Amino acid sequence: MKNTKFFSMILVVFVLVASFITQPITASAAELDVQAEAAILVDFDTGKILYGKNIDEPINPASMAKMMTEYLVLEAIENGDISWETTTEISQYAFDISANSNYSGVGLRMDYEYNVRELYEAMAINSDNATTITLAELVAGSEGEFVKLMNQKAEELGLPEYKFVNSTGLKNNNDGVIPPEGTSSDEVNLMSAKSAALLAYRLIRDYPEVLDFSSRPTEVFDGQEIRNWNYMLPHNTTSLDQYYYEGIDGLKTGNTGDEKGKMFTGTALRNGKRLISVVMGTSGSSEIRYEETAKLMDYGYNNFHTKELFAAGYQIEGESSLPVAKGKEDTVEISINEGFSAPIEQGDEDSYTIEYHIDEDKLNESGELIAPIEKGEVIGTAELIYTGDNEYGYITGGSSHTVDLVTEDGVEKANWFMLTLSAVGNFFGNIFGSLLDTVKGWFS
C-alpha cells in the first residue's frame, strides 16, 4: 500500500514537472532584453506594434535598403513597364562592382544578357549588389533617377524616417562605389526600425510573391549555387542548424561592416499568424542578429493571441441610437459595421474600449441626423482605445484602430403633412413653454 502511494506521488510530481516544461515561456515587454540599438515587432494582420526599442532612431540599414529596390522592381512588373522575361546587359559600373572582391558578388558577365527574374533572385536571395544596380538602371535609366523613385515611394508609403542615396545599401564612400547623381560620397542610406518594418509590411502585403524568393535557402545563378544570408531558413547545414527558426520565410539581411552594423528584417508564419521583426545595430558576430530575432519572435508567439474584442453590430451602452430630424422615425440605431480584433497579451483583454466619432457634417445644429437615411449609411467611425501600459501604436500610424460606424436601419423622410404638423406642434409648444416660464416668473 505504501509503495502504491509512493509511486502515485512520483507520478503526480512527474506530470506537474512535464506540464511546466512544455508550457511556452512568457515574458513581458519590460523583461525582453533585445541586444540591439533598435528593434521592433509587428503583428502583420493588424499592423499592431507588439514591441519597440528606439524605433524612431534613423540608422544605416545596409542591405536592408534593398527592400525598397525590391518593391519598385515588383511595382514596375505590375505596371507592365518590365516583365520577368525582360533582358538587359550589364553596365561597366555594375560589372566593376561584381568583380570587386570586397562585395563577394555573383560574378556577372558583360557578354551576356540576364533576365529580370535571374537578377531579382540574386538580389533577393544572395543580396547581390551588382544585380541590384542593374535592376535600378533598367527600371529608371540610371541609379540616380532610381534613388529619386526610392525617396518618392518612401514618402508615398508613409515611412516616418528615411533617406535613400543608392539602391544597394552600400556606403557611398565604399571602395569602387560611384555615388548616384544627386548624392554625395559622405552619405549613407538611413531608416529607423519603424520605417524598415513598415517597408517590409507594405512589401509583403502589396507583393506577397516576394516571399517566394526570400524563403529559398539556395538558388542556382548562371550555373553556380548562391546562398541566402538568412541563416534562420532551413539550410540543412550543421553549422547553421542552430539558427533555424520554424516559420521564417524572409526577409532581408544587412551588414554595414562596422562593429554594431549587423541588421535583419525577419518575418515568420506560424499557425496562420505572421509576425515581422527588425533588429538594427547588433554587436559581436554576424549571427547575433538571428538570436535576437528569435527572442522577438518567441515573445510574439508565446505572449499574444488574436482575439475578437467587439463583434460586428456592437453598440456602446447608452449610445446605441441617434435622434433623427424630418423622418418617419425619431431615432435610428447605430453600431460598428465590422468587428475589432487585436493581438492581446494574457490578462490584457479588459484594457480595451470603444469610442464613437460622429461625422459632424451628417448632423444638423441640434445634433440630429437628417432623413432620409439609408440602412448601413456610414455616419462616423468607432475607435478601439487601449488603456493599458504597453501601447506602441500601429505600424501604419496612429495609436488606435478604427472601423465604420453605421446605421442599422433606414429612415424615410416624413411626408409634408406630418412635417407641417410637427412644425405647428413645435411652434405652439414653444409659445406654451414661453408662457409657462413667464407665469412661473410671476410667482417666483
- Which residue among 127, 195, 215, 335 is the active-site one? 127
Any catalytic annotation for residue 142? no
Any catalytic annotation for residue 335? no
Under DSSP, the state recorded for 431 is H
Question: Looking at this protein, which amino acid is placed at residue 398?
Answer: G
Grid coordinates representing 272 are 496562420
The DSSP code sequence of 273-309 is EEEEEEEEEE-SSTTHHHHHHHHHHHHHHHHEEEEEE
CA gap 358, 19 in Å, rounded = 50
- Which residue among 53, 66, 153, 252 is the active-site one? 66
Q: Which residues, in sequence order, are CB contacts of 146 under 8 Å at separation 6+?
A: 69, 72, 136, 137, 139, 140, 167, 180
| β-pairing verdict for 331-336 and 340-345 | unpaired
**Cis peptide bond N-terminal to 372, omega within 30:** yes
The DSSP code sequence of 318-352 is T-SEEEEESBSSSEEEEEESS-EEEEEETT-GGGE
The DSSP code sequence of 162-230 is EE---SS---TTSTT--PPTT--TT---EE-HHHHHHHHHHHHHH-TTHHHHHT-SEEEETTEEEE-S-
Any catalytic annotation for residue 66? yes
- Which residue among 48, 53, 63, 98 is the active-site one? 63
CA gap 245, 233 in Å, rounded = 7
CA gap 53, 216 in Å, rounded = 30
State the Rg of the chain over Cα. 30
Active site (catalytic) residues: 63, 66, 127
